[in-house]
Structure formats: C-alpha cells, structure tokens
Amino acid sequence: MGNRKIDSSTRPPAANSLGMTMDMAIKFRKILVLGSGALKIGEAGEFDYSGSQAIKALKEEKIKTILINPNIATIQTSKFLADEVYFLPVNPYFVEQVIKKEKPDGIFLSFGGQTALNCGLALQKSGVLKKYGVAVLGTPVKSIELTEDRQLFADHLKSINIPVPPSGSATTFDKAALIAKKIGFPVMVRAAFALGGQKSGVAHNTKELKEIVEGALAVSPQVLIEKYLRHFKEIEYEVVRDKFNNTATICNMENFDPLGIHTGDSIVVAPSQTLTNEEYHGLREASIKIVKSLGIIGECNVQYALNPVRSRTPKGVRWRDARQTSNGVNPNPKTKKLDYYVIEVNARLSRSSALASKATGYPLAYVAAKLALGKSLLEVQNKITKVTQSFFEPALDYIVVKLPRWDLEKFKGAEEKIGSAMKSVGEVMAIGRSFEEAIQKAVRMQSGLAESVTDNGFTNKKEIKQFLSTATPKRIFAVAAAINAGVSVNEIYRLTGIDPWFLYRLENIVKAEKDFGKKINSPRPPLLKRGGERGSSSLQKGRQGGVINKEDLIDLKQLGFSDKKIGQLAGKSETDVRQIRKSYKIFPSVFQIDTLAGEVPAQTNYLYLTYHGAHNDVKPLGNHAVAVLGSGPYHIGSSVEFDWSCVHAAIALKRHKKQSIIINCNPETVSTDYDISDRLYFENLSFETVADIYEFENAHSLIVSVGGQRPNNLAKKLSKIGFKLLGTSAN
C-alpha cells in the first residue's frame, strides 16, 4: 500500500439534490444527521463511530448539529456531541417533523447505514427535502439511487465498460426464473435496498430459487439474479472523492474466504496479500473510474469478484484443478486482460469503512463529513498523523486481520452455515507483522475461549471434510485440523477456494506446534552416574520436563502463540511460561500505526504489540496513566453500551488529570477512535496482553468495571500479581 500516486482532474463539480453545484452552496448553519437506530445484524456500532466522527467534523466548522437516533446506548446520543438529540425513529414521518421544527439547511444520509439512506431516499422522493429547502450533503441522491437499484447500477457500469456478472433484475418470481434459466444455475440472488445481504443466497435449482426470491421480495421491491462466481476472490477498495474530482484509495482489503460469503461474515485481510501488481493496480484504477462516474462526494467502497486463475496459477495447484473452480468461466492464460466483476458499491459509510479506517489510521468518516461540506482533500488535515493532509494514501508496514464474531449457538434452531446473508453480530481486528501473528491474535480476541487456530475439537477426517466443504464459523479451525490430519493444501483449496497463500501460512502454525510438541515431550538421555554408568531412577528416566529454550520461544511468539497455549503444549501454566519468557527478556515491542509506514515522523497514540521487533516506538507514560479495559467484540449480552461506558471513563480520567490508556480490539467502536484516549492499544483483552501493556507503561492503575464481563473476569488474576484496580476490589 506504499503507492503515492493520487488521481485528480478538473471535471466540473457534480450538482447536489437541489440542482446547485457545491461551489454555489451556501455556508451551512445547521445540519441534520440521521443515525441508524437500534443495533441489528449488519448495522451495529460502526454507525455510532461514523456518526460521532461526522458530528465532530461539523462542530469544528461551528455548524449546529441536530441528531435523530433513538439508541440510548450510543456515544453519539451523549450530550457532549450533537447540539440537539431527538430520540425518535429514523423514518420519513418523524424526520419530517424534526425538519419542520428545526429548519436545517443540510442533511447527512451516509453516516447512519442503510436505515438512514433509505429514509433519506424516501424523503427526497416524496418532495419533503425540496419543500423545506434541505440540501443533501455529500453524494447526490441520484448517485445513491444508482448504487442501490441493482439493474440501474449494472446498466451504468456496462456503459463505462466496467464488467458486472451476467445478471437481470426482477420484481416477481416468474421473471426471476426466466433470468435464472437464461444465465444458468447456480445463481446468486441479491435484494435491492437491503441491509447486510438480507435474504440473499445461492440457488442451485428452481426450488431453491423460489424460496430465496420470495423471501427477498418480502423485504425488498426488487431482486437481482446474477451468475454465481464460485471460488472467485472477493476484493474491496475504500475510496474518497471531493467535489473537485480528486480521489484517493485509502485501503484495499482481501477476503480470506472466496466470493459467496458476505464480507461481514468473512475473515478479511488488509492490505491484500495474494494480488499481483497488475491485479492490485488494475482494480485500483477501476475503483477510481467508478467513483468518478457516479459523482461520489465523500467515501464509498467498491467490491470485486476476481478470477484467481486469470493471470497465474496459485502455488501448488495444477492449472486444470484451478480452472474447475471458476465455475464455467474459461480463463485464457495467454490473455493479459484482468478477469474481474464489480459486485457492489456502497455510496455510504459501512462496516468495511470502519474497519478500513481503523486498519489504516485514516479517519474516513471525519474526512467524508468535511468533503460533504465542500472542502477538498488538500484542505482536510489527517487528524491522526497531524503531518499529512487527507490527499495522501496510507502505507501499511503491518498486516491487519478482521475476524467476525457469531453467537449462533444462542439461537435455537439457527443454521450454523454462513453465506451471502450476514449473520455475525460483531468482529475483532488484530494487528501484527506477519499473517500468522495477526490471525492467531484474532482467534483469541474473537471469543476468549480458543487460544489458537489449532484449538478445534475435530476428531475424524469425515467431520473435517464436511466443515471444509460447508462454510461455517468453524471453517478456519477445520482448515487447521485438515492440515494436521495430512490433507494437502491442494485438496483444501479445491474444497474451500481459500487462496493457497493463506493455507501455507496456517500450515506454518500447525507445523510449528507439532514440531514443538515432539521436541518438548521427547525422552532425554538418562543421566550418567560417576564412572559413566547409566542411571535408573524414575527422575533420571523422566521426559525432558517441558524445558523451553529461548529460540523456540521466540519462534512461537512470532507465529502468534500465546503464553497459555505454549504452556498447554509444554505441560506448564501460563504464569510459568510468562516467567520463563521474562527471564529470557522476551517482551513484545510497542509499535505505532502512523499511516505512513515510518516514511515521515508522526506522533500517534495508536499502538499495537508485536514480537517482530527490537525496539519500542513510544516511551512509558508512567504513574499518571490509567488503563481502561474495553469489552472486545460485540456479542449477545455485550454491546455498544459498554463502549459508551469506556468512552465516558476515558473522558472522566482527563478531567481528573490522569492519562487514559484504552485496550480494546473492536474496530466498530468509538472507544477505538483516535481522539478518545491518550493511548489506544488495539489488542486482546487477555491476562497476558493486559499485563504486558500495564508493565510496559508502568501505569498507575486499571479500570476493569466498565467493559462488561470480559475484563471483569480478569480482575482476580490481575490483582493477584499486584496490579492496582480502581473501584471495587477484585475479591
């Protein structure tokens, strides 16, 4: 992501919904921001984050902000942000009543998810916005409608020579059946104007098509039937554009899982790891072309399906086997043309936007709000680096892995299978200097129960193959189990469509664990008595006794193994391994995320731990610092309310002249935003990680009571080793 080529041109500015160009727009005095309402699958804390950043951006411009959001648990409904908060439903009736009373001159539709977007489109269509003279700021309504209407969107992309999958739109099952017959099964069914891939799915026959289409038409007026591109890669680009037609691609992300699994339910890696230079830049150029053609102002993301075998054959996979995965598409290895299709464009902030923002350190929502006011990318400073403007593409010298969090077992009768309709309730983001380090961190962050990708519980090959062939939350564990059972990478690729690059990285983890297990448990030679005679006591005949040498420990830590997991392999406790590690002076390095890959000096408070380092980017804060433990990923029973309490705790600490350190791993939250705490560690809420951070910072104390059950469960263990807890004692 070190590319610095920025695209700009002198195309005339697009007109907004009132028909005036942004150059002619008045100085806004009062702006209405639509929230997303209650948290739901596909629409969670990321819109609290994006809406809060938008309000901050408006306040900097001394613009009065009016917020409509009935969710009492969010930060954005706190009294220190918006000037006026209406706890009302985000629907056309109530929004019109607020417009009538407050008389705003502008409205933001793109910071409240699909709920806000659909409400804004309805207000525009009914003439309410025109009646009260309210300008839609940012991306014009016509552009939003173009991206939301599946048929219009497909037609538009074809008109600018951007490929889309063979498809057709329908409003009845009969028409959908005709389209499916023409395209040929299997087909992907997608609902228009829907949230999180709601009611979408893959149909392999007419019976399945009828079931999916009827379900989709129950929540949407239109469905798109398109060719199912089995085992194509899913790639995503986050792009910003200002009214002067300047554009920058902020982040490219690659799904670990192939196309067919909603990106919210997929493991996602940033930056992409398996694209060729041609693929990376080809899709980047296409993204810029699409965004310009749509007249986007602010932020949007473009999702692609990329043929994995167009320009090369993955390592270890025969060409014939690879061709079979493309499901009827016949790639020509001699053709240099990139084989891809555009799947979707979101002309609004999304969960992917929150992830991209946290992964790169580029405050997307803040920048999008400024651009919506008519500013250029050259005018908006990057608030994190404070040394670059927003017209600057981030460079990453680390790797980010997002892992979803599901709670399917809490719903009686829920199908464990995952697909194009989102089911995850939350997600974690792990940062490392290798994929192995980051993925292992992410697995621990996700539930706090599994220590490694090898903690799977699979007992036989038949069960493993079943979980490989069917996408479920357990698939990554099934992959590790399959590797451990001797299934080849080639076979796993054939069954899953997961790029062999990722599979070989998981193989590194499995192999390292196996080798260490053999080494640590191998019998050692009996001790020699005086005179060279072999001893025979039980102690002398014993195994090596779990002696862990320094080199092995460093290797395992760099591959992302926790102290607890290493202890399980060596027959020792987590505390034992921690003491051994400290005796060897093996500590994680504290590195900054600066969006610049170290190219320009930048002081940021955005930190992560890694064992691929020999220095620290920051110095300890010392006795004036208090660590606040967050709640980790959203799940049933622990949601945005704990983000609210963490943020308010951090703000209160500042008032009491203490420096706040937030530890959390949830990219959707306001607590992991750049300006909430004095220091932010994007890290796991485990005993090992919290103890490492606390000892490095030499902090004054810890707050464990505001992040829900997860930090609360650490209280006794942290107190036992002498860490000071504020508030109620551990006992």
- What is the rounded CA–CA span in Å between residue 344 and residue 337? 21
Closest by CA to 711, choosing from 698, 702, 720, is 702
DSSP helix/strand/coil, 530: coil
What order do you get walking across the sheet with 187-191 strand by strand?
167-170, 223-227, 187-191, 201-203
581 closest CA partner among 567, 593, 595, 592: 567
**pLDDT score of 16:** 41
Q: Phi and psi for 303 in degrees, rounded to 5?
A: -110, 135
Per the DSSP assignment, residues forming a β-bridge with 488 are none
Q: Which residue(s) pair with 399 in the sheet?
A: 432
Residue 497: its H or E element: none
Closest CA to 293 of 249, 253, 245, 248: 245
Q: Which pair of structure tokens corresponds to residue 698?
A: 């030499």
Q: Which of 559, 483, 548 is nearest to 519 (CA)?
A: 548
3-state SS, residue 79: coil
Q: Return the CA Rg of the chain.
A: 26
| Cα-Cα-Cα-Cα dihedral sign, residues 477, 483, 489, 495 | negative
β-strand 298-306 against 268-270: which pairing, if any? unpaired
629/244 Cα distance (integer angstroms)? 43
**Cα 105–Cα 108–Cα 111 angle in degrees, nearest 5:** 165
Q: How far is CA 701 from the centre of its chain?
A: 31
> Residue 170 in contact with residue 223, Cβ under 8 Å?
yes
DSSP letters for 265-292:
GS-EEES-SS--HHHHHHHHHHHHHHHH
Bridge-based pairing of strands 399-405 and 247-255 is unpaired
pLDDT digits (tens, 9 = 90+) for 625-638: 999 999 999 998 88
Structure tokens at 218: 């129950």
Edge-to-edge strands of the sheet including 64-68? 84-86, 64-68, 30-34, 106-108, 135-136
Burial class of residue 522 in the structure, from the number of CB atoms within 10 Å of its CB (0-12 exposed, 13-18 middle, 19+ buried):
exposed
What is the phi-psi region of residue 327: left when phi exceeds 0, alpha when psi lies from -120 to 50, beta otherwise? left
Who's near 26: CB < 8 A, 6+ residues apart? 105
Instruction: Please name the residues in contact with 310: beta carbons below 8 A apart, sequence gap of 6 or more.
Output: 331, 333, 335, 337, 338, 339
- Given a contact cutoff of 8 angstroms between Cβ atoms, the answer to whether 25 and 136 are in contact is no
Rounding to the nearest 10 degrees, give the CA dihedral for residues 308, 309, 313, 318.
110
Residues of the chain with pLDDT under 50: 1-25, 311-314, 316-335, 526-544
Q: How far apart are CA 167 and CA 626, in angstroms?
A: 56
3-state secondary structure of 352: helix
What is the DSSP-derived secondary structure letter of residue 428? E
- 609 bridge partner residues: 590
- Residue 581 pLDDT: 97
Q: Which residues pair with 247 in a beta bridge?
A: 7, 241
Interacting residues of 216 by C-beta distance below 8 A, sequence separation 6+: 189, 190, 191, 194, 198, 199, 200, 223
Strands 187-191 and 201-203: antiparallel
* Pair 407, 697: CB distance under 8 Å: no
- Element housing 564 (H / E): helix 563-570
**pLDDT at residue number 594:** 87
Cα distance between residue 56 and residue 500, in whole Å: 43
Structural contact between residues 268 and 303, judged by C-beta atoms closer than 8 angstroms: no
| CB of 270 closer than 8 Å to CB of 355 | yes
Q: Is the CB of residue 586 less than 8 Å from the CB of residue 554?
A: yes
The pLDDT of residue 194? 66
Question: How does DSSP classify residue 15?
Answer: B
